[in-house]
Structure 1
Amino acid sequence: MTDEQTNERGERIAKWLARSGVASRRDIERMIGEHRIKLNGKTVDHPATFVTDTDVVMVNGKVVEGPERTRLWRYHKPDGLVTTHRDPEGRPTVFDSLPEDMPRVISVGRLDINSEGLLLLTNDGALARRLELPTNGWLRRYRVRVFGVVDERRLADLAKGCVIEGVRYGSIEAALDSRKGDNAWLTVSLREGKNREVRRVMAALNLHVSRLLRTSYGPFQLGELQPGELEEVQARVIRSHIPRDAEGERGRKPR
């Protein structure tokens, strides 16, 4: 298909909504299956639906504005917040804690309720999806406080990867920073970021994680941000680090 033909047809609705910050493409495809999206008053029933600048798209009965410029924030997630827009248990969420003048954003990956530290937020769902991909090869670095006897040889062996309760984990770099009695601080770095990976791997080493703080996500650092604080990443920094997708596109251009 030529560029002219693509422009005439518009953009696939899942990508358009992802770039509008509604959700990831995967979540949008699920929402289409739940009949929650309309195009020009008609329910969308297939992700291979195209949107042009003259179309009206509604999600859950509300009109979605067109994609804005890509924006990205560094946020210091405090302990006790869940990384979800709506929690069925009524627990406080990351998004409830954001300033009222923030646009609608989604997170790049998640931190569980008891984890702290760097969480990236963006208004671009397509960007969030790309930054989560393990193929980026980005390190996620953590400071981890554990209770128990640390065996440094077993820590070093984590670099070879491991299998715990049938789940295979890739190479993990773990080093002992300090020890006081039965408590120790570790620096742990990994590239995959499976659900609760650090806690499960430490538990397999008979170590209980009492605090987990993410200090970096790829090239982005927690820095001096205090719990609850956030800071927007400059557009030039986004341009220098955002990975190209499979089609060699960068999505919305940060300005």
Structure 2
Amino acid sequence: MSGDEEDKGGTETARGERIAKWLARAGVASRRDAERLIAEGRVTLNRRRVETPATFVRPGDAVAVDGRPVAAPGRTRLFRYHKPPGLVTTHRDPQGRPTVFERLPPGLPRLVSVGRLDLTSEGLLLLTNDGALARRLELPAQGWLRRYRVRVYGRLDERDLAALARGVTIDGVAYGPIEAEVDSRRGLISWLTVSLREGKNREIRRVLEHLGLQVTRLIRVAYGPFQLGALPRGAVEEVSPKVLREQLGPEVAPIAARRPPPAAPEAPPAPPAAALPPRRPPRARHAGRDRRPRGGGRRPGRG
């Protein structure tokens, strides 16, 4: 029976898929949060309450959370989203602030974010229908570089920025190596390119504040091999299964009938040229990489 616990001779393939993993792939929650839902008695399998995460789901089983049916996981999908400032990266906000998921265009599956961007931050946010994949891509062990363009106000000391490459401890919290380069400077206003591999909560803001710099704008432009590129603010674009297989391995993006990517919402008028952040001339080896990562390698570059 689908809900039986795994015996010593059984295999997950033969008996089905563990329900927490199944829920994560269905985009309901991360595997850890799915286990919490089970512990709270909010998950049913074939109309019977699930008592343990060591419960297996087979094709044709009916799963529900809080009485609402959950569709079986489809193929893994990944989307690039250009998050505007002023949105919270959560499904529900207790303070009633607008959320990322409320502003997505219709027709998308239920999605979870890969990491977060805080209320005032903007730029590239990866979204997926597979909670297990989201967890995998968030782990520092993945080793993916996350790159930001940051506008700061204050007196800049490039020696202090260079020292961040050795890591820094602030109020007992240890932050890993951070690469920070100055793009441009005008008086007390500077634009930096900041790269890191961890991404603790509000890490860039806290580290730069420790150096006496106030962050006035923060834009994520890359997450591993995935780039913000020319994606308009508020737009969503699906990463093709081919690119997923190249970057994450064939097991992450099983071959399935492709669905057309959703139409991006109409972009707001572009700001005047004077309002755009200054940019350094692109390096030659990264030319033409603003949309899709090249090659089959999994090791990210700094595009």
With the shorter chain as reference, the TM-score category is over 0.9
Q: Does 2:214 align with 1:202?
A: no
How does 1:7-18 map onto structure 2 within 5 Å? 7-18=13-24
Asked if structure 2 preserves the Cα contact closer than 8 Å seen for 1:81 and 1:94, the reply is yes
SS of the equivalent of 1:117 reads strand
Asked if structure 1 preserves the Cα contact closer than 8 Å seen for 2:245 and 2:253, the reply is no
Give 2:134's match in structure 1, choosing from 107, 128, 132: 128
Could you give the per-residue CA deviations for residues 220-254 of structure 1, whole angstroms, max 9, x where no partner exists? 000001110111111100111116xxxxx934515
Q: Does 2:125 align with 1:116?
A: no
Could you give the per-residue CA deviations for residues 2-58 of structure 1, whole angstroms, max 9, x where no partner exists? 997433321100101111111110111111122111111122121111111132110
What CA distance in whole angstroms lies between the structure 1 residues aligned with 2:61 and 2:233?
41
What CA distance in whole angstroms lies between the structure 1 residues aligned with 2:102 and 2:79?
16
Asked if structure 2 preserves the Cα contact closer than 8 Å seen for 1:71 and 1:254, the reply is no
Choose 1 or 2 for highest CA Rg: 2
What CA distance in whole angstroms lies between the structure 2 residues aligned with 1:251 and 1:181?
48
Matching residue of 1:98: 104
TM-score (norm 1): 0.94
How does 1:83-232 map onto structure 2 within 5 Å? 83-232=89-238
What CA distance in whole angstroms lies between the structure 1 residues aligned with 2:252 and 2:66?
25
Matching residue of 2:288: none
Higher relative contact order (CA 8 A, sep 6+): 1
What CA distance in whole angstroms lies between the structure 1 residues aligned with 2:155 and 2:73?
51
Could you give the per-residue CA deviations for residues 49-105 of structure 1, whole angstroms, max 9, x where no partner exists? 111113211011111111101111100000000000011111000001111111111
Could you give the per-residue CA deviations for residues 164-218 of structure 1, whole angstroms, max 9, x where no partner exists? 1111000000011111111110000000010100000011001000000000000
Matching residue of 2:247: 241
Matching residue of 2:58: 52
What CA distance in whole angstroms lies between the structure 2 residues aligned with 1:171 and 1:253?
35
Identical amino acids, percent of aligned pairs: 63
Instruction: Write out the 4+ residue segments of structure 1 that deviate beyond 4 Å after TM superposition.
Output: 1-4
What CA distance in whole angstroms lies between the structure 2 residues aligned with 1:114 and 1:66?
35
SS of the equivalent of 2:169 reads strand
SS of the equivalent of 2:54 reads coil
What CA distance in whole angstroms lies between the structure 2 residues aligned with 1:23 and 1:59?
11
Matched residue count: 250
SS of the equivalent of 1:211 reads strand
SS of the equivalent of 1:96 reads coil
Q: Does 2:32 align with 1:26?
A: yes
Matching residue of 1:62: 68
Structure 1 gap ranges (5+): 244-248
From the superposition, tell whether residues 47 and 12 of structure 1 become closer, same or farther in structure 2 (CA, over 3 Å): same
Counterpart of 1:110, as a letter, is: R
What CA distance in whole angstroms lies between the structure 2 residues aligned with 1:45 and 1:211?
47
What CA distance in whole angstroms lies between the structure 2 residues aligned with 1:90 and 1:143?
29
Give 1:73's match in structure 2, choosing from 64, 70, 79: 79
Counterpart of 2:110, as a letter, is: R
Structure 2 gap ranges (5+): 1-6, 257-303
What CA distance in whole angstroms lies between the structure 2 residues aligned with 1:240 and 1:196?
31
What CA distance in whole angstroms lies between the structure 2 residues aligned with 1:172 and 1:254?
38
Matching residue of 1:246: none
Aligned-residue Cα RMSD (Å) equals: 1.7
